[in-house]
């Protein structure tokens, strides 16, 4: 059984045990909207069954980005014939994911597991029925999306923000995306000082988490740019150097930090631009 976390009377967080992966059900008077649909069939089916208990149709699905753990569950909602919404770069994201995971295979995207978007956007998209504004927010992936509830003052960030369930850290993760864009997005969101952020994984958090995430990225990029311009054989910056905390043994953190370093090593960038 997955975790059901009421955020308020109309917003329910549905969290899978696998990777603390989040989906959200938003309810209005007439219908439901689902943000992300999980990965494992048993988890997506539980999410679907939870929606059935509301006795309202699922009118919309919004995928915060098109990594498989956030969009593969779309197919379990066919009964409702929902309108699926994603950024226009959605296909770039899932294609990149599959090509990196299995570069030796041709045609590796299993389309039977996908339900493609009916609406794609590039500029801000409003859904007045649910008082939501959907914004392109690249960083974790090319198509990453930020969703804002004007009614409840809630931000959904997808995997631009990651959290754990035990007050330990989960760091910003840009292996699939762009570190400069992620830093810019987190800085922009931090200025809004949101009280409720629903991340792609882990428990809801607030803007204090963003402050720590911005510090991590700034420290990491500054250290890496110094290393890149140095002729000496300095070691790569450690996690503890970039994100000082006594609780750095959380949820994927060391692995994510290693992959961030790998991504930086494969990127060409201008060091001044990283911290602009």
Residues 185, 204, 251, CA angle at the centre, nearest 5°?
Answer: 85
As a whole number of angstroms, the distance between CA 268 and CA 95 comes to 21
Question: What is the band of 108 on the pLDDT scale with cuts at 50, 70, 90?
Answer: low
Average pLDDT rounded to a whole number, residues 196-202: 97
Q: Please state which of the ranges 19-33, 93-107, 179-193 shows the lowest mean pLDDT.
A: 93-107
Average pLDDT rounded to a whole number, residues 196-220: 96
pLDDT value at position 276?
Answer: 32
> The tokens 């939870």 sit on which residue?
50
pLDDT value at position 227?
Answer: 76
Q: Contact, 83 vs 44, CB < 8 A?
A: no
pLDDT value at position 18?
Answer: 85
SS3 153: coil
Q: Please state which of the ranges 23-27, 76-80, 227-231, 262-266 shows the lowest mean pLDDT.
A: 227-231
pLDDT value at position 103?
Answer: 66
The strand pairing partners of 58, in sequence order, are: 32
Average pLDDT rounded to a whole number, residues 132-157: 97
Q: What is the DSSP letter of 55?
A: T
Percentage above 90 pLDDT, the chain: 74
pLDDT digits (tens, 9 = 90+) for 171-182: 999 999 999 999
Burial bucket for residue 207 (CB in 10 Å: 0-12, 13-18, 19+)? middle
Between residues 106 and 179, which one has the greater pLDDT? 179
3-state SS of 122-141?
CCCEEEHHHCEEEEECCCCC
Q: Where are the domains of the chain?
A: 3-152
Fold of 3-152: Metallo-beta-lactamase; Chain A (3.60.15)
Question: What is the band of 241 on the pLDDT scale with cuts at 50, 70, 90?
Answer: confident
pLDDT value at position 156?
Answer: 98
Query: What are 7's two structure tokens?
Result: 């955020």
As a whole number of angstroms, the distance between CA 215 and CA 223 comes to 12
Q: Is the pLDDT of residue 235 over 90?
A: no
The strand pairing partners of 13, in sequence order, are: 5, 24
Q: Is the pLDDT of residue 199 over 70?
A: yes
Between residues 153 and 224, which one has the greater pLDDT? 153
Between residues 231 and 142, which one has the greater pLDDT? 142
Compute CA distances 48 → 60, 75, 246, whole Å.
13, 10, 39
pLDDT value at position 210?
Answer: 96
Average pLDDT rounded to a whole number, residues 150-158: 96
Average pLDDT rounded to a whole number, residues 83-96: 95
Question: What is the band of 190 on the pLDDT scale with cuts at 50, 70, 90?
Answer: very high
Look over the chain and give the mean of its residue pLDDT values, rounded to a whole number: 90
All residues at 6 or more sequence positions from 48 whose CB lies less than 8 Å from its CB, including other chains: 73, 76, 77, 79
């Amino acid at each position: 059984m997955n975790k059901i976390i009421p955020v308020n009377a109309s917003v329910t967080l549905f969290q899978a045990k696998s990777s603390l992966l989040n989906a959200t059900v938003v309810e209005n008077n007439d219908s439901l909207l689902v943000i992300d649909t999980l990965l494992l069939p048993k988890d997506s089916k539980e999410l679907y069954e939870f929606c059935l208990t509301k006795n309202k149709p699922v009118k919309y699905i919004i995928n915060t980005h098109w990594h498989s753990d956030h969009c593969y569950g779309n197919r379990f909602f066919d009964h409702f014939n929902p309108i699926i919404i994603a950024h226009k770069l959605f296909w770039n994201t899932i294609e990149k994911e599959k090509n990196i995971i299995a570069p030796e295979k041709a045609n590796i995207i299993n389309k039977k597991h996908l339900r493609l978007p009916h609406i794609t956007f590039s500029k801000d998209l409003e859904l007045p029925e649910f008082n939501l504004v959907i914004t392109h927010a690249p960083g974790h992936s090319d198509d990453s999306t930020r969703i804002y509830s004007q009614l409840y003052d809630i931000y959904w960030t997808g995997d631009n923000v990651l959290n754990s369930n035990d007050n330990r850290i989960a760091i910003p993760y840009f292996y699939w995306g762009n570190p400069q864009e992620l830093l810019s997005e987190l800085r922009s969101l931090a200025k809004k000082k949101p009280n409720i952020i629903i991340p792609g994984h882990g428990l809801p958090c607030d803007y204090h988490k963003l402050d720590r995430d911005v510090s991590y990225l700034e420290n990491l990029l500054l250290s890496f740019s110094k290393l890149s311009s140095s002729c000496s054989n300095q070691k790569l910056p450690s996690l503890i150097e970039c994100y000082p905390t006594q609780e750095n043994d959380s949820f994927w953190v060391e692995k994510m930090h290693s992959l961030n370093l790998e991504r930086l090593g494969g990127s060409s960038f201008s060091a001044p631009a990283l911290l602009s």
